[in-house]
Amino acid sequence: MLSPLIDHLIRSLRILPGVGPKSAQRMALYLLERNREGALALAQAITNAAEHVKHCVSCRTLTEQNQCSICANPRRDASLLCVVESPADIFALEQSASFNGKYFVLHGRLSPIDGIGPAELGMDKLLERLNGVTEVIVATNPTMEGEATAHYIAEKAKQRGIKVTRIAHGVPIGGELEYIDGGTLAHALASRREL
């Protein structure tokens, strides 16, 4: 029988995505047996982040300031707005170093069955952000809900005369066709472009 504090630590670690009971137990025991200093630093980092990180007033990503560094950067192209599902998507796009516009984070995607409609995604705030934008790049995931969200955003932007594009989906660089699923290949063929 585990002590109540160890049991509570294990249950607390299980809130993390992909962490099951065995992984949580291994993490808890590692921190307690081999890295107490690291455990205290981790606890402090989690506490600080939970207390001080909030949503950017402009794009809704996570930041400690009222406005994130991307939105506050005057060198970013404010006429390009990339709409993503989560702050993690911004991290991924920024790592590519190929986009110099601004972002808007939906914090999800349309899913009527789960009770997630336009209001829950902050679509009214997105429509406000469209002032001065000449192109909206929709970068939602290629799921059924992501596609529905993309179409909804495209309709609203087109009503305002704004160009709407969608990020390409298909065969990854270095991927071999024989290992790519049929849906991805069909999308890649439909989205082909001239060389």
Q: CA 52 to CA 41: how far, in whole Å?
A: 16
- Domain of 152, CATH number, reads 3.40.1360.10
Query: 114 with 155, same domain?
Result: yes
Question: Are 105 and 152 in the same domain?
Answer: yes
Residue 122 within any structural domain of the chain? yes
In a shared domain, residues 153 and 91: yes
139 located within any domain: yes
Q: Per the domain annotation, does 175 fall within a domain?
A: no
Specify if 195 maps to a domain: no
Please indicate, yes or no, whether residues 83 and 22 belong to a single structural domain of this protein.
Answer: no
Residue 11 neighbours by CB distance under 10 Å: 12
pLDDT digits (tens, 9 = 90+) for 89-133: 999 999 988 899 999 999 999 998 899 999 999 999 999 999 999
DSSP letter for 123, please.
H
Give the span between the Cα atoms of 60 and 156, in whole angstroms: 19
Rounded to whole angstroms, how far apart are CA atoms 50 and 44?
10
DSSP string, 13-33: HTTSTT--HHHHHHHHHHHHH
Q: Specify the number of domains making up the chain.
A: 2
Above 90 in pLDDT, residue 168? Answer: no
Q: Which domain holds residue 44?
A: 4-52
For residue 139, give the amino acid letter.
A
Q: Please state, rounded to an integer, the average pLDDT across all residues of the chain.
A: 92
pTM (predicted TM-score): 0.84
In a domain? residue 182 = no
> pLDDT, tens digit, for every residue of 122-155?
999 999 999 999 999 999 998 899 999 999 999 9
Choosing from 13, 36, 52, the residue where a domain stops is: 52
- Within this chain, do residues 46 and 81 fall inside the same structural domain, yes or no? no
